Amino acid sequence: MGTDDHEINNTCDRNTDEMTHDNNLQKPCIYNKYLPFYDSIKRQGVNKFDEIRENLSRTIQLNELQPGFSFWSNALKEFITLYGFYFTKDNHLKLVNFYLSVLSITDLQYTSVKICCELLSTLLRKTRLITRDDLVIDWHTLYRWAKLVHNNHDEAHALVTLPEERKAHPVWWFQPHESCRLTEQNITDFVNCIKDYVFTSIFNKEHGQKAIEACQYLSMLRPELIVSPMAETLFSSIENITEPHRFTTSVVCLTHLARQLVRQTSSYSAGQVYVLPLLMSVLPGIDLNDPKKISTTLKFLNTVLSLITCVDCSSAVHIRNDLTEIEKQVCLSTKLFENFISTFLDRVFQMIEHLSSDMFDATMITDEVNIDYRDIELLLESILRNITGQCSSTIYRFVQEKLTNFLSGAYFSPKVKGFVSAVVRALLHGNPVEALKCVLPKTCESIEKIMNHADTTELFINGKEDLELIWYLTLFSELVRARGDTLLIYKPMIMSIFHRSIHIVHKYSYEIVANAARDLLESLSYVYPIEYKLTIENLDEPFIDFLPIRVWGQPVDFDRFQMQYHIPNVDEIDFACEFVKTFLYSELTLLNEKMLKLSNHERSRSLTFVYNIALGYFHMIPRIESEQLADLVLSVVPYNSKYQFQTSTYMRESKFNENLRMRLVNDIGKLLDLLVENHSDDVSSMKKALKANMNFD
């Protein structure tokens, strides 16, 4: 095969600004422009693509399909996932021809065929944008591989994703005559014709889901004919004790109609009248005795609360003179928000108390205990975040008071850890400054008090379980997930807790502390979004210029949304570095000097802590640059990218005298040798050490 058949043009003589202009690119990811450092992302996109196509070309020119071709093809897949089709049409066609030419190799391995076909499927997704003058594909090559795959009985390679046959789809330019078009009355008649059958069919066990989908589509056409009857159906099902399944089915159906229920349109806005009564009426569905009912109820609450703002708008009736009768009714009904939230939280607290006092063995604390409730935990967290993130400051203070009173009132079994996490994360989501002020000092004080009165031998040597300590450590680990800048004023308090608790050898306890260390470092040093709101308007302002109920269920304009991100500042990075210096080096010293004297539990604790610190901080540590690593992978092309995106904060002068990645690789490697030689029975520590080495080098 000639070089010309495979070579991709590697010259970089174009203007970078011209290349990164959206008009010259095929289909860049539209969401990247809302990310921080967008200019850096654009430059990195151009550089990464140049690097990928250069190395792809070199692998074929030098006849290396493994590992170079596989690695850089996977890099192209990742590039398309992150950046979209962030290249010109000319380069797009060259990539297609490149992979087609690779398929023409007669003795090509099936793994390489799979790579080519997957990328061709991705690159040829929109063939209608590529004309015959741009691209002509020889079908013989694809036919030959299709035939080979069809006749291949090797299951490991037989299931190869091939690009589907492409056909030009005809486009209608013909405009039907006015008399032949559907009228509004035709649509209304159609909905009226089938709605009764759909209402009946949603309770059909065999075809109920299809009927619910049909109900959703009909509500998009004529919400006034669908939403109100379905709401009344739910109200009637609550009193129906002989057919309890009707309640669950009605809630599922209304979940699909949520947007039509809460949104104001020019043709229908009466659905908003039902919102608060429906929210109140479904609360009895929070019943642990019926898993399906509680899951269905929480999904409904989550969907509706994600589309509305929890604001008492009743005073708008006396302020504004442009309200319709329906809007007045809806505004007055919003006085029930506080009552609804109070009742909802009381039911949640009862559920947590019930689970905590269940007849499970209190000493059997494993991740598997909560697996049946994981979906409920996630739904609960989402509901609480929707409430605290999209409510007025008055309602937030009310929610905060109830949640903090619950958290400080007593300690519960670790079995409800997921529910506690949901409560704390919701508080931090709404207002991390106020949440930390109310909860963190009390939590740290409780931990210090328990540690002062605890038997150090039982705690640090025998690994005795202390349920109260576990409860407060769980709270602490969730609280340090708050936004990094809000944690700075609590730095002495946080460091003190880690100093006191880092040497606890009870497995569940030290895992909580290790996770807290990782979460703290991520909060301080990661870039992440910090606001998820339905509207950018101030929900605490008088209702003169803005009425919250009018944005219920409305789409968000991304260009006006102005997404806010947490970008670590110098103080946060310094805090993270100090934490790593204080605790990581002490653990490494302990492992190096006393490894053979440590018990299996102590060794496992130390490795767990080292691993979690590294996970939270190592994105700031540069890669290992060593000649010892150059020949580990025999390849004619580089086996990693020379481009690594870092913010300006990360690019400051390192506070460490060595590369921590290399330090950990060396220390953990020596530890593994000693373990194999002297403690071959300590499989747990070996697994953790191997896991650490695989991640850090």
654 inside domain: no
| Per-residue pLDDT tens digits for 19-45 | 545 567 878 888 888 888 888 888 888
The tokens of 603 are what?
Answer: 């060794």
| Per-residue pLDDT tens digits for 73-95 | 888 999 989 888 888 888 888 88
3-state DSSP assignment of residue 566: strand
Evaluate whether 223 touches 271 at the Cβ level (below 8 Å).
yes
In angstroms, the CA 284 to CA 10 distance is: 66
Evaluate whether 512 touches 473 at the Cβ level (below 8 Å).
yes
Q: Which of 1-5, 18-22, 135-139, 275-279 has the lowest mean pLDDT?
A: 1-5
Which band of pLDDT confidence, cut at 50, 70 and 90, is reported for residue 120? confident
Phi, psi of 569 (to 5 degrees): -95, 180
In angstroms, the CA 510 to CA 606 distance is: 9
339 inside domain: no
303 inside domain: no
Residue 693 has pLDDT above 90, yes or no: no
| Per-residue pLDDT tens digits for 592-616 | 888 778 888 888 888 899 889 888 8
106 inside domain: yes
> Which DSSP helix (H) or strand (E) runs through 85?
strand 84-85
| Per-residue pLDDT tens digits for 440-462 | 999 999 999 888 887 777 777 77
**Which residue stretches of 270-392 are H helix?**
275-281, 291-307, 316-319, 325-333, 337-356, 374-389
In angstroms, the CA 614 to CA 167 distance is: 51
In angstroms, the CA 665 to CA 628 distance is: 13
35 inside domain: yes
How many domains does one find in the chain? 1
The tokens of 75 are what?
Answer: 């890099």
What pLDDT was estimated at residue 276?
93
Question: For residue 55, what are the domain limits?
Answer: 3-158
| Per-residue pLDDT tens digits for 140-174 | 788 887 877 776 655 444 444 444 554 455 554 56
CB atoms within 10 A of CB 221: 13
In angstroms, the CA 187 to CA 130 distance is: 38
**Which residue stretches of 124-222 are H helix?**
139-150, 155-158, 184-201, 208-221
Please, what is the Cα angle at 438 between 434 and 439, to 5 degrees?
A: 120
CB atoms within 10 A of CB 540: 11
| Per-residue pLDDT tens digits for 193-249 | 999 999 999 998 888 889 999 999 999 999 999 999 999 999 888 877 667 788 899
314 inside domain: no
46 inside domain: yes
Residue 592 C-beta-side C-alpha neighbours within 13 Å: 14
62 inside domain: yes
**Gyration radius from the chain CA atoms:** 30
Phi, psi of 633 (to 5 degrees): -115, 120
In angstroms, the CA 672 to CA 678 distance is: 10
- Interacting residues of 392 by C-beta distance below 8 A, sequence separation 6+: 310, 311, 312, 539, 540
In angstroms, the CA 69 to CA 637 distance is: 9
In angstroms, the CA 458 to CA 109 distance is: 60
What average pLDDT does the segment 359-375 reach?
A: 51
- Helices (runs of H) and strands (runs of E) counted in the chain: 32, 4
The tokens of 631 are what?
Answer: 């020949």
Question: Is residue 590 left, alpha or beta, with left meaning phi > 0 and alpha meaning psi from -120 to 50?
Answer: alpha
| Per-residue pLDDT tens digits for 464-503 | 778 888 889 999 999 999 999 999 999 999 999 999 888 8
In angstroms, the CA 645 to CA 75 distance is: 15
The tokens of 510 are what?
Answer: 């030290």
27-28 vs 528-529, strand pairing mode: unpaired
Cα 253 to Cα 232, 260, 546: the distances in Å are: 12, 12, 31
